[in-house]
Amino acid sequence: MKIKSSVSALRLFKRRQEFVPVEEIDSLPRGMRGIYVLFKHRPRVRRFDVVYVGMAAKGGVRPRLRSHRAKKRGLWTHCSVFEVWDNITHAEVKELEGIFRHIYRKDSRAARLNVQRSFAGMRKLPLILPRDQRRQGT
């Protein structure tokens, strides 16, 4: 008799819901922890521009989205939520958010709403190529 084991598709993320209209955020489940992204839909070009990357390591994603709906009204139209597994720590969620924030720190649309543009932990990582070596092109 074979025992069927359940293996997750991803180590960090449990579930996702993408491109949820702002009017439908109340339908998201309570208590989800993870990373969320706010988008501004541009229907003419059929694109979604990232305007904000955030996290909810405590308290859940839904209250954070409700707060953004009230405070950032008109600046975003849709969101995506990436729920982390229960064993992912607060520090790990914060690091994930920091990496995304670091990636988008120079993007003019995303950086406008992200007050904390850089991620302090990223500065602690050593560079792959030392600065003097990059300038010489070697």
Q: How does pLDDT run along the chain (138 residues), one tens digit per residue?
A: 555 556 778 899 999 999 999 999 999 999 999 999 999 999 999 999 998 889 998 889 999 999 999 998 889 999 999 999 999 999 999 889 888 888 877 777 665 555 555 566 777 777 788 776 655 544
CA-wise closest residue to 93 among 61, 62, 125 = 61
Give the whole-angstrom CA distance, residue 78 versus residue 64.
14
Distance of alpha carbon 102 from alpha carbon 38, whole angstroms:
16
Instruction: Enter the pTM of the model.
Output: 0.79
Q: Could you state, in order of their start, the residue ranges of all structural domains in the chain?
A: 13-114
42: its two tokens: 């541009």
Query: How would you label 99-132 residue by residue, b for 16+ Cβ within 10 Å and e otherwise?
Result: ebbbebbeeeebbebbeeeebeeeeeeeeeeeee
Contact present, 64 and 113 (Cβ < 8 Å):
no
